[in-house]
Amino acid sequence: MADIRTPLATRARPSSLRARQSAIVQSVFPAHPLPRFLTAVLCIMLIGSGVISAFVLGRGGPLPVTEMLDAWIGLLALYLLFRTRIHTTITIFLLLGYALTRIIPALATDAPLYDFTQAYRWVLYLIVLALAVGKTWGSAKLLIGATWTLLILAIIKGALTQLTLGLRPGLLLENNFEIPLFAGLVAIIYSHLGRSRLPIVLTLGVSTVIAGSRSGVLAFVVLAMYAVTQTDRGNIFVRYLALISLPVAGFIAYDLFQDRAASENRLDRLNFLDVFFSETRDWGIGEWLVGTTPITPLSPGGCEALSGYENLFSSTGDGSCYSVIMHAFFMRVVFDAGIVGLLISFGFMWYLMRRSAVPRLLAAALLLIAAMNSLSVSGPNNPYVILPILLAVLGAHKVAEKASAESDAPPPVKGELRSKTRKPVTRALPFSG
């Protein structure tokens, strides 16, 4: 009978293992925290927009929040490009190369610049995500406060508007856009919430039901599933309650779909799908793979069928329209960039999140939220969906890891001066050989 002496200090507990993995990532990408100014501007902008909108019943907020978010993302991109070290040079060159395959044909066909930018804004967002790899967000306190504020204001405004006017306007913009933003923000800050995890999920659920957005309900179901996976297995009550919430959320989603379908002659998205199939019925393998020549307008018949969305017609004002009028990102990107473009958009988002050590479940939840939104509106082609993914790449979900790693260290022994080279404690383990 022999024994092997195994140092207890070398046995990694789960939390210390996460800290060690984080240290490995930090050794590859040295931490570069964003300026406090940038993080504060985003949070204050979200809170301020929500507060101002809360006093405007019957319609969305009066501020151009979409343009404000795009301006913040642009400001962040400039800072990352000129003031920080780039860790994803090859990825950025690949994305720029792909962008050139879209830009050059568009210039050759004299395509309207505004319409082209509307169609391919997702490529610019991917480049910003690549620039953000290796950077850190900093403290999550403001972000947590901003998320709670937006959710509470959305509930207050939504309830008052429905009771007084019978309408369901959004807080920042349409519900189809802001509910995925709220769900993504909750997913990002979830690891920092402690006992307020369940309350924030329930608050988001109430906000989603009041909003009445079908794609928003799907985004909430994804968030609820993610919350279940993050529930402490030892807390049986919370885990059971979380599991019960999933079929309830599913029932609400089904009931909402049925109610909205009964109140409309035909779902708008089915009309868009009809136009999409009509426009692509003569496509060959090449078009399905890489899409149309950037950018190709829809046929006059397709534009006529969607004349009710005249505000989405081409900026040229000549009665033509482009893929943006079909709303759903999945149809738009396949029409413009093919299946290859669709794979690039979601594939690079996944790759850049994983490159930044975003946990698989969180990355999958954020991608699923983007996918649910892409069934209805513009998905990762709008800042409301891309912002939580950008925050994940910036590590806003893991700002407390340092404290967690420090808590794993053994407590100092009273009356002793701790040596820098502490001998590991050993224990004899039986070994039969």
CA 113 to chain centre: 27
Four-point Cα dihedral 168, 45, 187, 37, nearest 10? 180
Per the CB < 8 A criterion, the answer to whether 247 and 203 are in contact is no
Whether the CB-CB separation of 104 and 129 falls below 8 Å is answered with: no
- Give me the domain span that covers residue 107: 26-401
**Tally of domains in the chain:** 1
Q: Per the omega criterion (within 30 degrees of 0), is the bond before 285 cis?
A: no
CA–CA distance, 75 with 35 (Å, rounded to integer)? 12
Reading phi first (left if > 0) and then psi (alpha if -120 to 50, else beta), residue 58 is in left
pLDDT score of 398? 73
Q: Report yes or no on 11 lying in a domain.
A: no
User: At a CB cut-off of 8 Å and minimum separation 6, what does 332 contact?
Assistant: 119, 323, 324, 326, 378, 381
Name the nearest CA neighbour of 130 among 163, 189, 192, 85: 85
pLDDT, position 288? 96
The predicted pLDDT at position 11 comes to: 43
pLDDT for residue 32: 80
Domain contains 280: yes
Angle subtended at Cα 208 by Cα 159 and Cα 361, rounded to the nearest 5 degrees: 155
Query: Rounded CA gap, 325 and 309, in Å?
Result: 7
> Considering the entire predicted model, what is its pTM?
0.83
pLDDT of residue 411: 46
The set of residues, in sequence order, having a beta carbon less than 8 Å from that of 365 and lying 6+ positions away, is 187, 222, 223, 225, 226
Q: Please give the backbone phi and psi of residue 313, each rounded to the nearest 5 degrees, phi first.
A: -70, 170
Whether 418 is in a domain gets the answer no
Backbone dihedral region for residue 420 (phi beyond 0: left; psi -120 to 50: alpha; all else: beta): alpha
pLDDT per position in the chain (433 positions), as tens? 444 444 444 444 444 445 455 554 444 455 688 999 999 999 999 999 999 999 888 787 889 999 999 999 999 999 999 999 999 999 999 999 999 999 999 998 888 888 899 999 999 999 999 999 999 998 889 999 999 999 999 999 998 888 888 777 789 988 889 999 999 999 999 999 888 888 999 999 999 988 888 888 889 989 988 998 887 765 666 666 666 666 666 666 666 655 655 555 556 778 888 999 999 999 999 999 999 988 899 999 988 888 888 788 888 888 888 988 888 999 999 999 999 999 999 999 999 999 999 999 999 999 999 999 999 888 999 999 999 999 999 988 875 444 344 334 444 444 444 444 444 444 444 434 4
- For residue 13, give both structure tokens: 């507990």
pLDDT confidence of residue 20: 52
Does residue 287 fall inside a structural domain?
yes
Q: How far apart are the first and last CA of the chain?
A: 7
As given in the structure block, the two tokens for residue 380 are 């990762």
pLDDT recorded at residue 404: 40
Distance CA 115, CA 208 (A): 31
Q: CB-hemisphere CA count at 13 Å for 96?
A: 9
For residues 130 and 92, the answer to whether their CB atoms sit within 8 Å is yes
Calculate ∠ Cα 399-401-407, nearest 5°: 140
In the prediction, which pLDDT does 252 show?
Answer: 63
CA distance 197 to 189: 9
412 in any annotated domain: no
> Is residue 420 one of the residues assigned to a domain?
no
Looking at the domain assignment, is residue 8 inside a domain? no
Q: What's the pLDDT at 305?
A: 87
* pLDDT for the residue 427: 46
Beta pairing class for 2-7 and 135-136: unpaired
Residue 431 covered by a domain:
no
